[in-house]
Structure 1
Amino acid sequence: MTTAHEVRAYPFSEPDRLELDPMYARLRAEEPLSRVQFPLGEPAWLATRYHDVRTVLADPRFSRAVAKTRDQPRTHPDEHLDDGLVGMDAPDHARLRKLVARAFTGRRVELMRDDTQRIVDGLVDNMLEQGAPFDMVENFAIPLPVTVISEMLGVPEADRPRLRGWSEAMVSTTALPWEEMERNAKELFAYIGTLVAERRRNPTEDLLGALVKTRDEDGDRLSEEELVMHVTGGLLITGTETTASQMPNFLYALLSHRDQWELLCADPSLVPRAVEELVRWIPLNYSAMFARYALEDIEFGDVTVKAGEPVVGSVASANRDPEIFENPDRLDVTREHNPHIGFGHGPHHCLGAQLARMELQTVLTTLVTRFPTLDFADGADGVVWKQGMLVRGPKLLRVTW
């Protein structure tokens, strides 16, 4: 039975560093499925408990594709205009994901580990050469994922600064006018289209070459638009902007919890566990995203989501659910039981999760090994945070050692 629910303005507050709004904890305890109104679009249900969010992400009774036909809940006019794989339902989603996964394998990611270490070592050498104070965002967090994914795709080195600009523009919410964001999107799609055409004329062994080969040889073919769409949204943007934000987020979190940093310095073997804990603990997106629409009436406890109603699941809230995680608000790099959903869940689980893990593990292991005395150059309050972006993260984080 559905009872009357207060419709709350959402997001509940402006992003504040890596703090999670306390309203999520209140809703988990008192109103786990609540009504919210985004700045744009129709009202939606907000799921805040772990099991409910997993249901919204994975249950085939919820559709992401329907959102394209509705005035979907969003924070910005173009926020989910072209979601790529995220915007698809089965069977189209399964078909495209299967073909992409054949080229973007765990083995390919592991083969990049040595190259990633080489890139990280070069950035560390630059740190030592420039000396402290050193900005870990512009001079480390940004160039690393751009270089890694560009090398995987075979993007010419001269074009990589343009990729960074396009990627950042496409995850902006208020930092850029709509017209400029649209222009950046068109330029990026056109550029990837030229690379795809070049790979078809001159086959290569890089990831983009493998994707083109898969597209051209498989009987269940990717369309040209699907290929460009996935390379652009699923690999370039996700593979650069998200990781570029998480690296300084990781540092901010660990240097703000000095005991956790020192644990890693004393025992770098904890790094893989620490990466999982940081992904769980950090609320990367400042609001829930990607509304799913109920295809039939669905019960959540005493609440009925009617067919046709949208639901958004807060991954950040789910990852702090005390029914799943002991002391969920505590950052604990030694945490063993950690079934977080920071990389998503179900059919839309992030294809680039293995790449992100590998990069973040490599960076963190290198930093705790080579810079055990690393600290804020200007104190935690001296960190400058990005504004108007879909993901949280510092835009200036200066360190010393």
Structure 2
Amino acid sequence: MSEDVAARTGTAGISGAGARTQTAGTPGAPPPVCEWPAQDLTGTRFDPVLAGLMDQGPLHRIRLPHGEGWAWLVTRYDDVRMVTNDARFTRRQVPGRDITRLAPHFKPKPGSLAFADGGDHHRLRRVVWPALSASAVEGRRGRAQELIDGLMDGLLRDGPPADLVERLLAPFPVDLVCEVMGVPPEDRAQLKEWTDQIVFPAADASATGQVKERLYGWLGEAVRARRGSTGEDVLSLLGAGVSRGELTEEEAAGVAGPLQIGGEAVTNNTGQMLYLLLTRPELLAALTERPELRPRAIDELLRYIPHRSAVGLARIAEEDVELHGHTIKAGDAVYVSYLAANRDAEVFPRPEEIDFDRAAQAHVSFGHGTHYCVGGLLARMQIDLLMDAVLDRLPQLRLAVPADEVPWRSRALIRGPRALPVAWAIG
């Protein structure tokens, strides 16, 4: 009998809120399989299932709502960094497997950086890097500030109350990402609609799949139209790369898709950060009165916020690996939890507290190793500019509704407020 079947026939127990753990039989056996259900968590509440697993130890087996079988889960900071930077754990086999997962729809596109390893990953990433490098991002800072200033001017002109998500946090990242990508203004609303439907998927997996096909079809046509281009936007770089034979049109669309969707993460992460500040006046006052704290404070907020639900994408063990007294066998699926790593008490003392004076430690909110977020530098610049704009230009900022009336995204892969109604002092 397989370990999976054995786990299914175990005795059910409770681990954390909403988690059902099936107990293993004998000492030295693999960890029990924890059933991790889909949850609609609101606010910045840390996932109780994940918290329960972290309390139990560093290595687990989990079963998520979709896909087949179980997967390993790594939660400790050092282990997460090891797995994500170790060539024995790869992504290239994942698209061919129906691995247990959170998302109802899973149909990876060829060329996606998320599923490329080694030389292939370098080959694909190199094509778009000129648009996403530190110098390229810094070169867009002035234009990014112009976009924010225009949105803030309109917000101040109309006066309070206002929804920060609708007026600032949603439109700014989309507008900037579309410029970086090279999406024509007339197509941006349609792409925003498609990305919303992908990040906040419908219960009907086929509907989500159809939306992904439309988005990737549009991106493929855009790349095809720019073959041989000398432009500096992402779609032009991809078109030129296709002309040089560095990647195929299908791969180019696979690279472009996650980059186009990336603006949603900035919207929701910044929304969570501002919600935290608005519900903890002492933190808001510190960043308003001491702007020099902001870079370090934003790192601390990025460490703290539960920026996603459950876990992201799995890896596959290419060979047997011993970890914490257990054997992760070749072919086993392995998840890491960046959320758990950011709450590892051995690295971040009192991890449940937000401490702007915390000694510097590298959070892993943008990932680690080969699959560190390719748009991470752009995302961080956007977050910095958004936070500065809100803190500097909206005096005496406060929620315009009780905190428990702030609406949150439901069935979201990326967590965040659906609206953030605020008011501020005029004059």
TM-score normalized with structure 2 length: 0.87
1:19 to 30, 45, 48: 45
Long gaps (5+) in structure 2:
1-26
SS in 2 for 1:65: coil
Matched to 1:329, the amino acid is E
Confirm or deny that 1:54 pairs with 2:77.
no
Confirm or deny that 1:237 pairs with 2:237.
no
SS in 2 for 1:45: strand
Return closer, same or farther for 1:25/1:388 CA change in 2, 3 Å cut-off: closer
Is the Cα–Cα contact under 8 Å of residues 316 and 330 in structure 2 kept in the other structure?
yes
Deviation at 1:361? 0.4
Q: How many residues align?
A: 396
2: CA distance between counterparts of 1:204 and 1:392? Answer: 34
Describe the superposition over 1:44-65 as per-residue Cα deviations: whole angstroms up to 9, x where unpaired. 1111111112222221111211
Return closer, same or farther for 1:4/1:105 CA change in 2, 3 Å cut-off: closer
Deviation at 1:12? 7.5
Which deviates the most, 316-325 or 276-285? 276-285
1: CA distance between counterparts of 2:228 and 2:321? Answer: 50
Deviation at 1:350? 0.4
1:337 to 351, 355, 360: 360
Deviation at 1:362? 0.5
2: CA distance between counterparts of 1:212 and 1:33? Answer: 43
SS in 2 for 1:399: strand
2: CA distance between counterparts of 1:116 and 1:346? Answer: 28
| Corresponding residue number in structure 1 for 2:421 | 398
| Larger RCO (alpha carbons 8 Å, 6+ apart) | 1
1:28 to 34, 54, 58: 54
| Corresponding residue number in structure 2 for 1:144 | 172
Written as runs of structure 1 = structure 2, the 5 A alignment for 1:312-327 is: 312-327=335-350
Describe the superposition over 1:68-101 as per-residue Cα deviations: whole angstroms up to 9, x where unpaired. 2222111233246338111122221122122322
| Corresponding residue number in structure 2 for 1:196 | 223
Written as runs of structure 1 = structure 2, the 5 A alignment for 1:1-400 is: 2-11=28-37, 13-40=39-66, 41-79=68-106, 81-82=108-109, 84-173=112-201, 175=202, 177-200=204-227, 203-217=230-244, 221-233=246-258, 235-238=259-262, 240-400=263-423
Is the Cα–Cα contact under 8 Å of residues 103 and 214 in structure 1 kept in the other structure?
no
1: CA distance between counterparts of 2:233 and 2:49? Answer: 46
SS in 2 for 1:384: coil
Is the Cα–Cα contact under 8 Å of residues 215 and 223 in structure 1 kept in the other structure?
yes
2: CA distance between counterparts of 1:342 and 1:374? Answer: 27
SS in 2 for 1:394: coil
Return closer, same or farther for 1:152/1:136 CA change in 2, 3 Å cut-off: same
2: CA distance between counterparts of 1:64 and 1:26? Answer: 27
| Corresponding residue number in structure 1 for 2:8 | none
Matched to 2:186, the amino acid is A
Deviation at 1:181? 1.6
Describe the superposition over 1:23-47 as per-residue Cα deviations: whole angstroms up to 9, x where unpaired. 4344334321112111122211111
Runs (4+) off by over 4 Å:
none
Q: CA RMSD in A?
A: 2.0
SS in 2 for 1:333: coil
Which deviates the most, 344-353 or 27-36? 27-36
Return closer, same or farther for 1:102/1:294 CA change in 2, 3 Å cut-off: same
1: CA distance between counterparts of 2:229 and 2:71? Answer: 48
Is the Cα–Cα contact under 8 Å of residues 260 and 332 in structure 1 kept in the other structure?
no
Return closer, same or farther for 1:146/1:164 CA change in 2, 3 Å cut-off: same
SS in 2 for 1:35: strand
1: CA distance between counterparts of 2:312 and 2:286? Answer: 34
Describe the superposition over 1:312-340 as per-residue Cα deviations: whole angstroms up to 9, x where unpaired. 11110110000001221111233341311
Matched to 2:378, the amino acid is L
1: CA distance between counterparts of 2:35 and 2:270? Answer: 31
2: CA distance between counterparts of 1:13 and 1:187? Answer: 28
Is the Cα–Cα contact under 8 Å of residues 276 and 338 in structure 1 kept in the other structure?
no
Describe the superposition over 1:263-309 as per-residue Cα deviations: whole angstroms up to 9, x where unpaired. 11111122222221121111111111211111111111212212211
2: CA distance between counterparts of 1:15 and 1:281? Answer: 15
Return closer, same or farther for 1:14/1:7 CA change in 2, 3 Å cut-off: farther
Which deviates the most, 200-209 or 291-300? 200-209
- Percent identical: 36
Return closer, same or farther for 1:337/1:208 CA change in 2, 3 Å cut-off: same
Describe the superposition over 1:188-226 as per-residue Cα deviations: whole angstroms up to 9, x where unpaired. 122222322332376434333233334434x6x021111
SS in 2 for 1:308: coil
Matched to 1:58, the amino acid is N
Return closer, same or farther for 1:82/1:224 CA change in 2, 3 Å cut-off: closer
Larger Rg: 2
2: CA distance between counterparts of 1:208 and 1:325? Answer: 40
